[in-house]
Structure 1
């Protein structure tokens, strides 16, 4: 089977296995040719509390005309951290053009967790991510991000199954075809909630939580999920494989001394 080519549009951290540095080795290991376009250069994972960041919007603005002139195209594009509204417009317009030619668009609207926005993420980012979701075939925010995107109230105690469906419908109204909500407590159980536009069906996949935090686990989830979808696996089993992969990697690394640098993926690719 011919493997599909994917472009990662995400940030690059100098210190830590997150974003592009987490997704590229997984997708490559799964056999897909991977290309990348950095949205920002970040000194280290934000979990350390101090960081330096360089936005690359002007660079991106110069890249797209060159790629168009050279005739470059991709089977899929996966977007992650978007540094500004201006950058979001550039990237969304490019994704829209590519989607019209048959490219599949995956959007991970990276903004926050546990009811709060991440360090350095501003309210303007929410509008940027809505712009990205408007061109998506599949988006997969966590519960916090889904609440921000749909102007919904975050509830630490979680939601009912009906409320989860309402959040998914809110994401669909922004423009995405299919949607997942990760890290959401549904009727007291940690779960991933989803809507599959190909089957017009909702689903819920429960999981067991390991009480350790690593940056980059969302990127690992994205990469495993996308890798299987690019092999034409169905959405529900691909989501389950991504959940299982993240669980295994956290379990294998739960005793690591410095969790802020993320999971050292190269040691553990074979478990995927």
Structure 2
């Protein structure tokens, strides 16, 4: 007898696809697949390489194609256990994703995770406009979980970027971001006072709890680490991890990727060597890193 139930959980992943350089879908797909989750890609654009450190790359905008893909998925009556969005190429694409969430979240309990890809180091990425920042705030309001870095949190809150921000102020930012809609807010790339460590701070509105993980800062810049972190968060929550377990697992995985990559001499713009450590995603999490703050 044919069973209509899905044998594994399914994620609609709305990201760009870069042919070279590990970022977005070339990171999302192997990570979630390794966590035994089916990835259904909804590409926002196809690039020859990602944009970090490469020049003269080709860029194919798939805005119109996104509508065709979504239309077909509707005809197939697909359902998803999670909707996970990352880099979006235009204000129009943000509108498309909001409509996608509204339609595909009606039929079941669908986890909505938004990685609000806007910028880093206090600056917007070259392709991001002020209009997109404004619309990203609307998209955030439709989510259950968001994973901004410190820069993106500043833009979402209209705050000045400051690496010396206090933990008490960060607590207020986490709550303000949650007030925009998401139940769970995770801010990454938060340096400590000494700048020798980097932190991940999270807030869970239901329990009114704040979580914190701090790791030694590795002086290396690899693209795709944010995509890797958010992807592990998606997989962990779908597989039943608690919020602190999810951020612990994601932080440990990214740290392991960085350490595995830093030992080799190759251009950092090519991304982390996640292939060498994908098997660690299904290892038991030690749960020694996180703390309540």
Task: Report if TM-score (shorter chain) is over 0.5.
Answer: yes
Structure whose alpha-carbon radius of gyration is higher: 2
Structure 2 CA distance for aligned equivalents of residues 261 and 115 of structure 1: 23
Q: Determine if contact 2:118/2:152 at 8 Å carries over to the other structure.
A: yes
1:153 corresponds in structure 2 to: 160
2:284 corresponds in structure 1 to: none
1:209 aligns with 2:217: yes
Q: Deviations over 1:23-59 (max 9, x none)?
A: 1001101111111000111221212242332221111
Counting only pairs closer than 5 Å after superposition, residues 156-167 of structure 1 correspond to structure 2 as 156=163, 158-167=164-173
Counting only pairs closer than 5 Å after superposition, residues 119-158 of structure 1 correspond to structure 2 as 119-156=126-163, 158=164
1:252 to 256, 260, 266: 260
Q: CA deviation at 1:265?
A: 2.4
1:83 aligns with 2:79: no
Q: Deviations over 1:37-91 (max 9, x none)?
A: 0011122121224233222111112222221121011110110001111110111
Counting only pairs closer than 5 Å after superposition, residues 58-73 of structure 1 correspond to structure 2 as 58-73=64-79
1:52 corresponds in structure 2 to: 58
Q: How many pairs does the alignment contain?
A: 271
1:17 to 14, 17, 22: 22
Q: Determine if contact 2:260/2:276 at 8 Å carries over to the other structure.
A: no
TM-score (structure 1 length as normaliser): 0.94
Secondary structure of the corresponding residue to residue 105 of structure 2: helix
Unmatched runs of 5 consecutive residues or more in structure 2 = 1-5, 282-293
Q: Deviations over 1:119-143 (max 9, x none)?
A: 3222222123212211101001000
Structure 2 CA distance for aligned equivalents of residues 185 and 63 of structure 1: 40
TM-score (structure 2 length as normaliser): 0.88
Q: Deviations over 1:97-138 (max 9, x none)?
A: 323332110000111111111232222221232122111010
2:272 to 260, 263, 266: 263
Counting only pairs closer than 5 Å after superposition, residues 147-226 of structure 1 correspond to structure 2 as 147-156=154-163, 158-188=164-194, 189-226=197-234
1:240 aligns with 2:245: no
Secondary structure of the corresponding residue to residue 52 of structure 2: helix
Q: Determine if contact 1:225/1:242 at 8 Å carries over to the other structure.
A: yes
- Pair 1:244–1:225, CA change in 2 (3 A): same
Q: CA deviation at 1:2?
A: 5.5
Unmatched runs of 5 consecutive residues or more in structure 1 = none
Q: Judging by fraction of residues, say which structure has more helix.
A: 1
Structure 1 CA distance for aligned equivalents of residues 9 and 131 of structure 2: 33
Secondary structure of the corresponding residue to residue 151 of structure 2: helix
Q: Determine if contact 2:113/2:143 at 8 Å carries over to the other structure.
A: yes
- Pair 1:190–1:100, CA change in 2 (3 A): same
Structure 2 CA distance for aligned equivalents of residues 25 and 214 of structure 1: 17
Structure 1 CA distance for aligned equivalents of residues 258 and 175 of structure 2: 31
Secondary structure of the corresponding residue to residue 232 of structure 1: coil
Q: Determine if contact 2:146/2:185 at 8 Å carries over to the other structure.
A: yes
